[in-house]
Structure 1
Amino acid sequence: MAVALRTFEVKDGWPGLRARLADRLPERDLVLLDEAVAFATHWHADQRRPAGEPYAEHLFEAVSVLVEAVGTTDPDVLRAAVLHDVVEDTDCSLDEVRQRFGDRVAVLVEWVTKPAPVEGRTREEARTAYLARLRDAPAEALLLKLADRLSNVQRLDTHPRPEKRGAYYRETVRAVVPLAQAHPWFRQWFATWRSTFAHLAVDPTDA
Structure 2
Amino acid sequence: MDTVRTFEAAQGWPAVRAALAARLPAAELGRLDEAVAFAEQWHGDQRRPAGEPYLEHLLEAVLVLVDGVGVTDTDVLRAAVLHDVVEDTGCSAAEVRERFGPRVADLVDWVTKPEPADGQSAAQARAAYLDRLRLAPEDALLVKLADRLSNVQRLDTHPRPEKRRSYYRETVRTVVPLAQPYPWFRAWYAAWAEALAPLDGDEG
User: Shared fold by TM > 0.5?
Assistant: yes
Q: Is the 8 A contact 1:51 1:159 kept in 2?
A: yes
Structure 1, unmatched stretches of 5+, are none
Structure 2 distance, partners of 1:161, 1:120, is: 29
Question: Are the equivalent residues in 2 in contact too, given 1:159–1:165 (CA < 8 A)?
Answer: yes
Q: Which residue of 2 aligns with 1:55?
A: 54
CA RMSD in angstroms comes to: 1.2
In structure 1, C-alpha distance between the alignment counterparts of 2:3 and 2:201, rounded to whole Å: 22
Structure 2: unaligned runs, 5 residues or longer: none
Give per-residue Cα distances to partners, 1:162-196, cap 9 Å, x unaligned.
11111000000000000000000000000000011
Which residue does the alignment assign to 1:44?
43
What residue number does 2:94 align with?
95
CA drift at 1:160? 2.1
Greater shift, 159-168 or 176-185, is seen at 159-168
2:130 aligned partner: 131
Q: What is the aligned residue count?
A: 203
How far, CA to CA, are the matches of 1:168 and 1:39 in structure 2? 29
Equivalent positions of 1:73-152 (< 5 A) are: 73-152=72-151
Runs of 4+ in 1 over 3 A off after TM superposition: none
Match of 1:24 in 2: 23
TM-superposition CA deviations, 1:92-148 (whole Å, max 9, x none): 000000000000000000000000011110000000000000001000000000000
User: 2:158 aligned with 1:159, yes or no?
Assistant: yes
Question: Identity of paired residues, percent?
Answer: 69
SS in 1 for 2:143: helix
Is 1:34 the counterpart of 2:33? The answer is yes
For residues 7-51 of structure 1, the C-alpha deviation after alignment (integer angstroms, 9 at most, x for no partner) is: 000111000000000010000000000000000011000011111
Q: CA deviation at 1:203?
A: 7.8
- Aligned residue in 1 for 2:180: 181
- The one-letter amino acid paired with 1:171 is E
Q: Which amino acid aligns with 1:45?
A: G
2:153 maps to amino acid: Q
TM-score (norm 2): 0.97
Which deviations, in whole Å up to 9, do the C-alpha atoms of 1:55-105 show, x marking residues without a partner?
100000000000011000001000000000000000000000000000000
Q: Determine the C-alpha separation between the residues in 1 that align with 2:53 and 2:200.
A: 28
1:5 aligns with 2:15: no
What amino acid is the match of 2:184? W
CA distance in 2, matches of 1:49, 1:182: 30
Query: Is the Cα contact below 8 Å between 1:50 and 1:160 reproduced in 2?
Result: no
